[in-house]
Amino acid sequence: MNEADIDIFIDTISHYFQQITRQTATIGAAYLSTHQGLENYDYSGLIGIAGKYRGCIYFTAPRPLLRHLLVSMGEHNHCDEHLLDMVGEIANTLSGNARKYFGSEFIISVPVSIKGQIDNVRPPSELLPYVIPLTWNGYRASLVICISNDA
Amino acid sequence: MKIMIVDDSKIIRGKILNIIRQSVIADITVTGVAKNGLEAVDLCKKTMPDITTMDLTMPELDGVETISELVKINPEILILVVSALSDKATAIEALKRGAHGFICKPFTDLELNEALTELLEVRNCA
């Protein structure tokens, strides 16, 4: 992953929030983290990456952010099922949109949505994850990217 | 005109349903919703929709394979892909299999309405 690759994900995040909510998300400076130091919020949507690339991407967000997004989508039932669906769909959309730049060999899995700590997810240990922090409507969330190019 | 909605996300199925219900497109009725390709094939056999929206990344049977199956059941079906997969190769493959249109997630109400209207114009011109 290089700076241009990270910029692609920043663009997809900005586009997503603008398109869905007509409100801009403020994107913070991306940073390289450690597996131990990764923060996660109330809900996370995880996508496995295969093909020419490998690893995983996940979007993690607090409950209030997801509730607001559900309202933006016309859904007023904020049960766990819907919150998990929402966070998985965001992860799917951000990863899928990145294929415009990475190509069809950037193969994405169906999303796995998790409530609470994502203790059981083990990204490749030799890869350090990049974290892209964002703030939308006063709520913080993160997109975490842990992928390598096998080409 | 009968329409089927296919997406593995309940939230997205609901959003599409709401847009269609509020749409100015005349005489369009939702015949059912499916959360994966297998359900879509089954529903298509039962209800024979004229149009379907189609997600691509789904469990059980993905959208590209599902398009091929639906076209076998009903060669006249109009298929609008609604997917986050925004690369050109995927769009071309979907169109080769028998899709008629493609819009990328995240989509607005206007984009979906316009895409459906264009699809119906294709039907009316045929």
Q: Which residues of A touch B (CB under 8 A)?
A: 15-16, 19-20, 70, 73-75, 81-82, 85-86, 88-89, 92-97, 99-100, 102-104, 106, 108-110
**Inter-residue contact A68 to A59 (CB < 8 Å):** no
Mean pLDDT of chain A: 92
Does B122 touch chain A if contact means CB atoms closer than 8 Å? no
Express as a percent the part of chain A with pLDDT over 70: 93
Q: Please give the Cα distance from A137 to A88 (Å, whole number).
A: 20
Q: Which residue of B has its CA nearest to A81?
A: B10
Q: Please give the Cα distance from A55 to A58 (Å, whole number).
A: 10
Q: Cα distance from B50 to chain A (closest Cα, Å)?
A: 26
Q: Cα distance from A104 to chain B (closest Cα, Å)?
A: 6
Alpha-helical runs (H) found in chain B:
10-21, 37-47, 63-73, 88-97, 109-125
Which ipTM score applies to this complex? 0.91
At A17-69, the pLDDT tens digits run 999 999 999 999 999 987 666 778 999 999 999 999 999 999 999 999 999 99
A82-86 average pLDDT score: 98
The whole-number pLDDT of residue A44 equals: 97
Q: Taking CB atoms and an 8 Å limit, are A19 and B106 in contact across chains?
A: yes
Q: Which residue of A has its CA nearest to B107?
A: A19
Q: How many CB atoms lie within 10 A of CB B95?
A: 15
At A101-126, the pLDDT tens digits run 999 999 999 999 999 988 766 666 77
At B55-93, the pLDDT tens digits run 999 999 999 999 999 999 999 999 999 999 989 999 999
Residue A94 corresponds to which tokens in the numbers above? 């951000």
CB hemisphere CA count around A43 (13 angstroms)? 24
At A5-16, the pLDDT tens digits run 999 999 999 999
Model confidence at B126: pLDDT above 80: no
Model confidence at B124: pLDDT above 90: no
Q: What is the 3-state secondary structure (H, E, C) of A39-79?
A: CCCCEEEEEEEEECEEEEEEEEECHHHHHHHHHHCCCCCCC
The whole-number pLDDT of residue B123 equals: 73
Rounded to two decimals, the pTM is 0.94
Nearest CB to B12 within list A89, A104, A110: A89
Model confidence at B2: pLDDT above 80: yes
Q: Taking CB atoms and an 8 Å limit, are A85 and B10 in contact across chains?
A: yes
